[in-house]
């Protein structure tokens, strides 16, 4: 999310989010600049007093002050800023419940941006408490994205056969009436149907998941004798659990560490919202991303460690994404994207999610480190990892005394990619199963054998 990143409340939210009070943002950024001293990266915002000041300012100015305003057309933006702020710092207080009820009292006349922000907040912080309110919005909205957010919320509460049938009936009825003639809306509905089917297998890697993984890991993604650097981000369906990232070099060999063991570091593919990957600000979608060099972000949320630049299909020309200048097509189709997928699994729908997510409008997903305060998420399954707005994020720990970088899996990943031949190739995200634990490298090793 590098091209138009804008710093938000905790220097954590990106392009698709609204800016909070400008004076507050400038204050937070100015007090939290990231610099390098003697080649050791330093993030001043990690110092304990700075973290405390940041949190206090967010609660006071972005949440409490904004929600104290009566909800009107002219104050919608203040309320949406507060919603996003509560997501970022994982703020949950009982007094907010009354504000959410107030928001739903007039939800039908509120803007689509307001409705989306409210649904994001509920999906993030209140996954079960507002079923009846969301059910009503689900029945009345004619916006495909908000409709899908409502459907996903209701599905997460109850995945029973009866409830899935009920949701499916509504989806079918509204699709025929409102969404079938709009391409982006039809993509959203297709992804919602995929969620309703819930095809991934539980338990250990087996069946189709095992075939998919083995095929991907043993595909060269080459053109002639020219091999690409390939980064594999292997994830669970439950993105609360960190996945693992491994790297294949331009000689078609997996990168190893100094001891000769397969290089691997954990990587979180979870967004703050934990929404499905096809929705704005959702988890990192499955599928293929074009890897295109390294960058150093100006966002204090990402910090000074190099990131890996990624491009989604609809963000780039077909020639660039497929690395083929002979292609004459100028309009994306799923069949063009599928040229990259191995023949055995080119019709595996989850691996098309990156294509459809970008067609729907997702952009600016990268692989980066983090300077976000992990304390926001203490008690969460993924702690001390920090979620993002849908990027791939590795763990970094910064000293609360002097701000120096102490641990950086991101630097290890960048070094491995450079060792592999550089960030010119592809990054592939794939879910393997629904085990409720982090991905372990020992699960992956058997599938590296040709």
Q: What percent of the chain has pLDDT over 70?
A: 91
Helix (H) or strand (E) holding 62: none
Beta-sheet pairing, 229-235 with 424-431: parallel
Task: Report the pLDDT averaged over residues 370-398.
Answer: 96
Helix (H, G, I), strand (E, B) or coil at 286: coil
Q: Per the structure block, which two tokens stand in for 111?
A: 């803007």
Higher pLDDT residue, 226 or 18? 226
β-strand partners of 267: 243
What CA–CA distance (Å, rounded) separates 303 from 319?
Answer: 32
Q: Per the structure block, which two tokens stand in for 339?
A: 């040229």
| Residue given tokens 């409102």 in the structure block | 178
Q: Per the structure block, which two tokens stand in for 247?
A: 């790297």
Task: Report the pLDDT averaged over residues 63-75.
Answer: 98
pLDDT at 20 over 90: no
Confidence at residue 34, expressed as pLDDT on a 0 to 100 scale? 52
When pLDDT is cut at 50, 70 and 90, the band that residue 1 belongs to is very low
Confidence at residue 363, expressed as pLDDT on a 0 to 100 scale? 96
Q: Which of 155, 237, 157 is nearest to 193 (CA)?
A: 155
Q: How confident is the prediction for the chain on average, in pLDDT?
A: 90
Quick count: other Cβ atoms within 10 Å of Cβ 346? 15
pLDDT in tens, 288-344: 999 999 999 888 889 999 999 999 999 999 999 999 999 999 999 999 999 999 999
* Residues near 216 by beta carbon (within 8 Å), at least 6 away in sequence: 232, 342, 345, 428, 430
Confidence at residue 25, expressed as pLDDT on a 0 to 100 scale? 35
pLDDT in tens, 159-168: 999 999 999 9
β-strand partners of 266: 244
* Residues near 44 by beta carbon (within 8 Å), at least 6 away in sequence: 31, 32, 33, 34, 35, 50, 403
When pLDDT is cut at 50, 70 and 90, the band that residue 35 belongs to is low
Buried b (16+ CB within 10 A) or exposed e, 108-129: eebeeebbbbbbbbbbbbbeee
pLDDT at 30 over 70: no
Are the beta carbons of 423 and 230 closer than 8 angstroms? no
When pLDDT is cut at 50, 70 and 90, the band that residue 24 belongs to is very low
Q: For the chain, how big is the Rg over CA atoms in Å?
A: 22
pLDDT in tens, 256-297: 999 999 999 999 999 999 999 999 999 999 999 999 999 998
When pLDDT is cut at 50, 70 and 90, the band that residue 4 belongs to is very low
Task: Report the pLDDT averaged over residues 139-159.
Answer: 97
In the chain, % helix, strand, coil (3-state, to 5) comes to 45, 15, 40
Q: What percent of the chain has pLDDT over 90?
A: 84
Confidence at residue 206, expressed as pLDDT on a 0 to 100 scale? 85
When pLDDT is cut at 50, 70 and 90, the band that residue 13 belongs to is very low
What CA–CA distance (Å, rounded) separates 230 from 319?
Answer: 18
From residue 132, alpha-carbon distances to 96, 115, 128, 145, 274 in Å are 17, 15, 10, 19, 21
Q: Per the structure block, which two tokens stand in for 210?
A: 């095992």
Q: Which of 410, 413, 417 is nearest to 369 (CA)?
A: 410
Question: Three-state SS string across 372-407, please?
Answer: CCHHHHCCCCCCCCCCECCCEECCEEECCCCCEEEE
Higher pLDDT residue, 414 or 14? 414
Task: Report the pLDDT averaged over residues 370-387.
Answer: 96
Are the beta carbons of 293 and 423 closer than 8 angstroms? yes
pLDDT at 108 over 80: yes
């Amino acid at each position: 999310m590098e091209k138009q990143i804008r710093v938000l409340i905790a220097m954590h939210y990106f392009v698709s989010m609204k800016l909070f009070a400008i004076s507050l943002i400038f204050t937070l950024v100015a007090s939290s600049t990231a610099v390098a001293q003697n080649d050791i990266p330093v993030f001043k915002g990690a110092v304990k007093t700075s973290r405390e000041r940041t949190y206090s300012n967010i609660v006071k100015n972005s949440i409490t002050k904004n929600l104290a305003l009566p909800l009107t057309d002219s104050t919608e933006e203040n309320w949406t800023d507060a919603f996003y702020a509560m997501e970022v710092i994982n703020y949950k207080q009982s007094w907010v419940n009354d504000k959410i009820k107030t928001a739903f009292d007039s939800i039908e006349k509120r803007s689509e941006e307001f409705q989306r922000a409210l649904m994001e907040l509920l999906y993030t912080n209140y996954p079960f408490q507002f079923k009846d309110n969301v059910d009503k919005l689900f029945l009345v909205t004619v916006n495909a994205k908000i409709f899908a957010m409502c459907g996903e919320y209701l599905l997460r509460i109850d995945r029973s056969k009866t409830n899935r049938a009920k949701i499916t009936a509504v989806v079918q009825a509204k699709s025929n009436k409102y969404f079938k003639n709009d391409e982006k809306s039809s993509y959203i509905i297709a992804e919602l149907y995929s969620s309703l089917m819930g095809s991934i297998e539980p338990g250990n890697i087996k069946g189709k998941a095992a075939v998919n993984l083995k095929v991907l890991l043993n595909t060269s993604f080459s053109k002639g004798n020219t091999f690409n650097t390939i980064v594999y981000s292997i994830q669970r369906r439950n993105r609360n659990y960190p996945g693992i990232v491994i790297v294949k070099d331009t000689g078609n060999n997996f990168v190893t560490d100094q001891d000769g063991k397969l290089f691997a570091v954990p990587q979180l593919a979870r967004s703050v919202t934990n929404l499905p990957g096809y929705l704005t600000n959702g988890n990192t979608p499955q599928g293929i991303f074009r890897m295109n060099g390294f960058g150093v972000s100006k966002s204090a949320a990402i910090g000074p460690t190099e990131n890996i630049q990624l491009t989604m299909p609809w963000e780039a020309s077909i020639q660039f994404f497929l690395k083929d200048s002979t292609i004459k097509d100028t309009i994306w189709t799923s069949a063009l994207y599928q040229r990259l997928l191995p023949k055995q699994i080119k019709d595996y729908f989850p691996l098309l999610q990156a294509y459809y997510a970008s067609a729907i409008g997702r952009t600016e997903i990268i692989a980066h480190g983090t300077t976000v305060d992990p304390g926001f998420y203490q008690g969460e399954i993924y702690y001390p990892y920090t979620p993002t707005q849908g990027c791939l994020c590795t763990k970094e720990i910064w000293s609360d005394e002097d701000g120096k970088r102490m641990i950086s899996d991101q630097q290890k990943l960048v070094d491995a990619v450079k060792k592999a031949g550089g960030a010119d190739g592809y990054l592939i995200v794939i879910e393997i199963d629904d085990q409720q634990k982090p991905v372990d490298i020992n699960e992956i090793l058997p599938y590296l054998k040709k």
